[in-house]
Chains A and B, each alone.
Chain A
Amino acid sequence: MTDAPVSKPKSSLLVQDARTKRRNASEARFKIYGLAAIGIGCAFLLTLLTAILFNGVPAFKQTFVTLSVTLDPAAIEDAENSTLKTAKYKAMVSEALLAELTEVGIQTDMDPTKLGDMLSSATGDQIRTYALAHPEQMGQTVEFTVLGSSRVDGYMKGRVTREALANDKNLDAEHLDIVDQLAAAGKLSLKFNPAFIFGSDASEKRPEQAGLGVSVVGSFIMMLVVLFLSLPIGVAASIYLEEFAPKSRLTDLIEVNISNLAAVPSIVFGILGVAVFIQFGGGSLGIDALRKSAPLVGGLVLTLMTLPTIIISTRAALKAVPPSIREAALGVGASRMQAVFHHVLPLAAPGILTGTIIGLAQALGETAPLLLIGMVGFVATNYPSGFFDAFTAPNSAMPAQIYEWAKRADPAFYERAWGGIIILLVFLLALNIIAVILRSRFERRW
């Protein structure tokens, strides 16, 4: 230590001056804005997820009634000879229900036809299909698990109340008494309904029968088409534009147009699909595979929509690769193509993958263009007969099916729309998880 005098501070560091205080305060305010924004976002997300789960989960359960039907050969023959076959079968089921009620000791003075309103009109077809497939069971009594009608189902789920039935010509409060008694007897219950996930769409009269399965196949086929067309074309176009194309007016114009394409309303792509693929390709050129409602056409339209997204993200990923890597490759005598494919592309792969998955997710959720090319929900009534048939057989897609259900009048369909959204979100989540896994794989290879 020396004895030299210690200098005095001109202004103390221990006291903040006004300017510093103002700066700190504004920084603190900015942080609060950020936290508030995140908080509001999370609140919205939470509300959305709660609403979806609350409204959608009931769609995965359905009311089933267990009853024994006697396959009377005379009645079946009578039904097969009539024009309204399934209606006759339905009548048989209604009789069986009455018998069932008597057996478990439920008193009613309703006639069987009215009683049958408790059951789905799909039951007639269910019994008929079974009877025709099992002629050896003829004359015997078989136990069936049949769908309850959508009103009964709504009552079981708390959607339909006795008061609401006053104006409903489909079901009376009397029916509900029977439902309560049947439920108590264990003959009627809410069960998990795999047909909602794997089944096909049903008519407006039978919401209880409708399922998303066929539309899932339609969406899957379209994703295949989109992936196998837009990824190679998009990446190749990006590589050409980014690495090879001379910088000229023309390439500038193309660049601007690609960026603009990403902002074109999707319904315009739908019209383009109708004009190019269905009217010109399928009509004028006579290519049979390009027909209305075909997932192949849907996939082509969505490919056009996804291409700009993939091209923009791929070009960004290519641009992010340091030029020193290209120079290094060229410096040891690699051709430009070798430099790109050996060094630049692997480094850009995570970015390309992210763009592709975002594009696919966008395509998976797209509805408007599909409605224009005829991939509307009510088309999805049958599974395609094979892998190749799945590309051309009329089908819908998950979002189009959900839209179709949401616009039907019956609240039972509305519930299914919510349920369909859960399935759609599960698929989107799966896509994102795949993206994360693939990205970390590629990044580990540096």
Chain B
Amino acid sequence: MNQMSLIDRAVDMTHIKIAARGVNVYYGDSHAIKDVNVEIADKTVTAFIGPSGCGKSTFLRCLNRMNDTIDICRVTGDILLDNEDIYDKRVDPVQLRAKVGMVFQKPNPFPKSIYDNVAYGPRIHGLAKNKAELDEIVEKALRRGAIWNEVKDRLHAPGTGLSGGQQQRLCIARAVATEPEVLLMDEPCSALDPIATAQVEELIDELRQDYSVIIVTHSMQQAARVSQKTAFFHLGNLVEYGDTGQIFTNPRDPRTESYISGRIG
């Protein structure tokens, strides 16, 4: 992808899906995220980049309150989803996670059949009234995950028997099966080979039609390829946030420039 097309890629920031205001995250005594303010647009792919340990994954996991499962983790500040504070006392994290789906770094299909993997979310959320509807949801999700053609003849084979790239697409299909509004992806391609990575990236671009996608990645090329907006994190600070084209061609902060040009990180 050449530099020109990066600049040309205009971002239509019509609606703000998620807004973070003064977010701080502490792991016990260590201050992992320092006063992060960011607005994430709907129907956009937003990439979080930065060196290891910069807090990008931590921040991502705040967005669906996955950090709640860690006892020593404490979050302050507001994170608004559709202008509602997701850390409000009245919010049930389980309901939130149905709206904000997540794909993890390592493909983690359930040790169940391909069908059951995808059907699990719809089942527990009661999205299907009967078997036919569930079949339909599963097929749709697997098509969305761009894996339908590969698995349609062996839906009842174990999901763990697929290749790494297929497993990750299965996990994406599982995440979209519950009809989330936001999809969080934590380094979804780090365990995949270049061909599988290309397939997943293509898929991410398609998912943008319906979802707000946030992807954490170590690969700057990947961020440049798939995202419209990019946020650069360094040592727990959100250093720079802007259009992907601008970040990669004309970064404002010297730290961003150093990272992108490979001098730090």
Chain A residues within CB distance 8 Å of chain B: 246-247, 322, 324-336, 338, 342-343, 347, 446
Contact = CB atoms under 8 A, between A and B. Distances in A.
Contacts of A336: 69
B29 interface: no
B124 to A, nearest CB: 6
Contacts of A329: 110, 120
Contacts of A330: 66, 69, 97
Interface stretch (B80-88, B98-106, B239-247): B98-106
B104 A332 contact: no
Contacts of B64: 331
Given A325-B108, A446-B111, A332 B101 contact: yes
B158 interface: yes
Contact of A333 (B71, B98, B160): B98
A331 B106 contact: no
Contact of A332 (B69, B95, B158, B175): B175
A347 B110 CA distance: 10
Nearest to B94: A335
A226 B97 CA distance: 40
B160 A328 contact: no
B213 to A, nearest CB: 15
A331 B188 CA distance: 14
A338 B124 contact: yes
Contacts of B175: 331-332
A110 B121 CA distance: 90
Contacts of A347: 111
B71 A332 contact: no
Contact of B125 (A246, A327, A333): A333
A334 B66 CA distance: 12
A334 B108 contact: no
A333 B108 contact: no
A329 B171 CA distance: 11
B50 interface: no
A8 to B, nearest CB: 42
A72 B69 CA distance: 86
A331 B71 contact: no
A327 B69 CA distance: 9
B109 A328 contact: yes
A433 B180 CA distance: 47
A308 to B, nearest CB: 25
A333 B178 contact: yes
6 contacts: A325-B110, A330-B66, A331-B175, A332-B177, A333-B124, A334-B120
A347 B103 CA distance: 21
Contacts of B106: 324
A41 to B, nearest CB: 36
B174 interface: yes
Given A246-B71, A324-B108, A332 B120 contact: yes
Nearest to A333: B98
Give the most central of A329, A330, A335, A343: most B CB within 10 Å: A330
A42 B108 CA distance: 44
Given A327-B102, A329-B120, A347-B111, 19 more contacts: A324-B104, A324-B108, A325-B111, A326-B69, A331-B66, A331-B103, A331-B175, A332-B101, A332-B120, A332-B121, A332-B124, A332-B174, A333-B97, A333-B98, A333-B124, A334-B120, A335-B94, A342-B120, A446-B158
A292 B238 CA distance: 72
Interface in B119-159: 120-121, 124-125, 158
A322 B108 CA distance: 10
A352 B128 CA distance: 34
Contacts of A327: 66, 69, 102, 104, 108
Nearest to B171: A328
Nearest to A247: B71
Nearest to A321: B111
A347 B108 CA distance: 14
Contact of B110 (A246, A328, A333, A335): A328
Contacts of A246: 71
Most buried by A among B71, B98, B111, B160: B111
A332 B97 contact: yes
Contacts of B95: 333
A328 B121 CA distance: 10
Contacts of A328: 104, 108-110, 171, 174
Given A246-B71, A325-B108, A325-B110, A331 B120 contact: no
A25 B139 CA distance: 61
Task: Give 7 nearest A-B pairs by CB, closest first.
Answer: A333-B98, A332-B121, A324-B108, A331-B102, A333-B97, A328-B108, A446-B111
A333 B158 CA distance: 22
Given A246-B71, A247-B71, A324-B108, A331 B94 contact: no
B119 to A, nearest CB: 11
B234 to A, nearest CB: 26
A247 B121 CA distance: 29
B94 A333 contact: yes
A343 B94 contact: no
A246 B124 CA distance: 26
Nearest to B95: A333
Nearest to A346: B111
A325 B117 CA distance: 11
A327 to B, nearest CB: 6
B29 to A, nearest CB: 16
Contacts of A324: 104, 106, 108
B154 to A, nearest CB: 15
A268 B178 CA distance: 54
A446 B112 CA distance: 7
B46 to A, nearest CB: 18
A343 B175 CA distance: 16
Among A322, A331, A332, the most chain B Cβ lie within 10 Å of the Cβ of A332
A331 B110 contact: no
Nearest to B120: A332
Nearest to B69: A330
B191 to A, nearest CB: 11
A326 B66 CA distance: 11
Contacts of B171: 328
A165 to B, nearest CB: 70
A234 B125 CA distance: 30
Contacts of B101: 331-333
